[in-house]
Amino acid sequence: MIPRRRIRIDAADLADLLRSIWRRGAQARADVAAFESDAASYLGSPHVFATASGRDALDLILDGLGLAAGDELIVPAYTLGELLPRISARGIVPVPADIDPATLNLTVASVAARVSPNTRAVLAAHLFGTPCDIRGLCALAERHGFALIEDCAHAFGARVDGKPVGTFGIAALFSLEVNKPVATFGGGLLVTRDAVLAAFAEAALRQRPGGEWAAVRKAVTKIGEELLVRSPLYGPLAKMLFSDSLRGRFERFYRRTHDRLRAGPVSYSGFQARLGRRRLARLDARNVELNALRAQLAASLAGPLSNVVRDRDGEPCFYNFVARWAGDTSALRRRGQQLGIDIALGSEVMDDVAAQLGDCPGAAAALREVIQLPCYEGLAAGQVARLAAGLRALAGAA
Ligand SMILES: *Cc1c(COP(=O)(O)O)cnc(C)c1O
């Protein structure tokens, strides 16, 4: 079976990992500073800080901008569910705005409909690498006097009119998690043009204990998982773990173990920074290569299976090949497995965070219909051909 996700591991990364275990933390500060400076020049932003995770960067942004109890933060109704408790823990009220089913992103109209006198900021995601209408949202934020924060977890390297996303709002968070565009076994970036927020972040991050060991432990665990994903055991294992009887329990277990591995409030490590510099240097080439592969595979989508529009508002980067299945997805997992394709469905792709509110139909439809298909670096030509044939069979068999 062709796994839904795989991670890239280079020989240079393994060699560096071994060296890091040996020389624990030597050079860390200089390497982190060099990575931050590379990222600042790539993005063209004056202040970039490496953080423990994307959500850590969000915490620092919320605190540094002075959002406090009673303030409202408009969030996409379809995004990572784990962001919400961190917002609520501060007494900030997350207000979900619906997404456009065609782009899976917020729209100016859906955000405008949620603005109230208590709105202090909007968290605008560029979901699955597709830029949202960031210029429209900037204008809306200016008109109403609230802050625009960009969630670029999926969007490293995406641009609008040649300008990288993450540089439009007052601040942005990026994620460097294992499967994100620049993957360094966890970590994140806080990007801002605001000197006050930058000073706040710098002071907060200076207090942190070293994260070298947490990063090494996570890398070793994830490489172990990856060996399993690439082994012949993956097919039977995936069929079992994603079966109707085990799936819910497995998803909770997986999220919990992943949480335990996620670094707490520690410094970004030297090992991650060196990896980050290598990945950033080839980010544009990676995005071009994977966008071309996605386009090639998308040509096999037909019938109920359709591509999600990806280039309406700018130049997308690559993060996950997502497609829409118009109709009932309940038999899709089994059908995919028979064709040798491991398909992710529902909350395995993304969360409907407005579920309790019940009035964001775009997000509810996305949760039902958006699926994620295999597409990553290292797919062999034979696998690409099998995948394309499998996708045509899926579409035809409906
Ligand atoms: C991954 C992700 C984040 C946060 O990233 P972490 O590094 O895992 O904390 C934020 N938003 C979205 C939409 C994400 O997918």
Can you give the chain as a three-state secondary structure string? CECCCCCCCCHHHHHHHHHHHHHCCCCHHHHHHHHHHHHHHHHCCCEEEEECEHHHHHHHHHHHCCCCCCCEEEEECEECCCHHHHHHCCCCEEEEECECCCCCCECHHHHHCCCCCCEEEEEEECHHHCCCCHHHHHHHHHHHCCEEEEECCCCCCCEECCEECCCCCCEEEEECCCCCCCCCCCEEEEEECCHHHHHHHHHHHHCCCCCHHHHHHHHHHHHHHHHHHCCCCHHHHHHHHCCCCCHHHHHHHHHHHHHHHCCCCCCCCHHHHHHHHHHHHCHHHHHHHHHHHHHHHHCCCCCCEEECCCCCCCECCCCCEEEEECCCCCCHHHHHHHCCECCEEHHHCCEECCCCCCCCHHHHHHHHHEEEECCCCCCCHHHHHHHHHHHHHHHHCC
- 397 falls in which pLDDT band (50, 70, 90)? low
pLDDT of res. 398: 52
Residue nearest to atom 10 of ligand 1 (CA): 153
- 239 falls in which pLDDT band (50, 70, 90)? very high
Q: How far is the CA of 313 from the centre of ligand 1 (A)?
A: 22
Model confidence at 228: pLDDT above 70: yes
pLDDT of res. 310: 79
Q: How far is the CA of 312 from the centre of ligand 1 (A)?
A: 23
Average pLDDT over all residues of the chain: 94
Least confident of 41-50, 252-261, 321-330: 252-261
Model confidence at 25: pLDDT above 80: no
pLDDT of res. 257: 84
Q: For residue range 42-63, list pLDDT tens digits in order.
A: 999 999 999 999 999 999 999 9
What is the CB < 6 Å shell around ligand 1?
53-55, 79-80, 83, 125, 151, 153-154, 175, 177, 188
Residue nearest to atom 6 of ligand 1 (CA): 54
Q: Stretch 331-357: mean pLDDT, rounded?
A: 92
* Proportion of the chain above pLDDT 90, given as a percent: 85
Q: How far is the CA of 397 from the centre of ligand 1 (A)?
A: 35
Q: How far is the CA of 170 from the centre of ligand 1 (A)?
A: 19
Q: How far is the CA of 51 from the centre of ligand 1 (A)?
A: 12
Least confident of 70-84, 256-270, 283-297: 256-270
Q: For residue range 162-192, list pLDDT tens digits in order.
A: 999 999 999 999 999 999 999 999 999 999 9
